[in-house]
Amino acid sequence: QVQLVESGGGLVQAGASLRLSCVASGDTFNHYYIGWIRQAPGKEREFLAATGWVGSSEYYADTAKGRFTISKDFTKATVYLDLDNLQPEDTAVYFCAANRVFNNWTAARVVYWGKGTLVTVSS
């Protein structure tokens, strides 16, 4: 079992930045890639970015390139997602997820989910 706990969401104004954190725990958390996926009100879940615990490989959706940055601290078992220049359309629940596949983040591939952290961006 792997547990994922997100934090760092909140209410911000357009143009602001946030850092989301995902703390992983469990015996085998380091066997999985960790990704960030968001779900806006009334919309389907959308993959943003992923990373592994070893090395520097990162995988981004086109939506996330340029404004969002994924990073990790293995010593803290934490994966971060830095969100820059937030806009109202970025309002969503941001989920942390664990997957055995690096570049396929469809819901069917995700093995573990966190409960999510809400990001609300006002105009």
pLDDT tens, residue by residue, 38-83 = 999 999 999 999 999 988 789 999 999 999 999 999 999 999 999 9
Residue of 34, 70, 28 lying closest to 53 (CA atoms): 34
Q: How confident is the model at residue 17, as a pLDDT?
A: 98
Q: Are 52 and 102 in contact (CB under 8 A)?
A: yes
Q: How confident is the model at residue 27 (pLDDT cuts 50, 70, 90)?
A: confident
Report in angstroms the alpha-carbon separations of 105 from 33, 37, 91.
10, 9, 20
The backbone torsions φ and ψ at residue 90, rounded to the nearest 5 degrees and listed phi first, read -85, -5
On the question of pLDDT at 116 being above 80, the answer is yes
Token code pair at residue 46? 């959308």
Other C-beta atoms within 10 Å of 19: how many?
13
Q: Are 14 and 122 in contact (CB under 8 A)?
A: yes
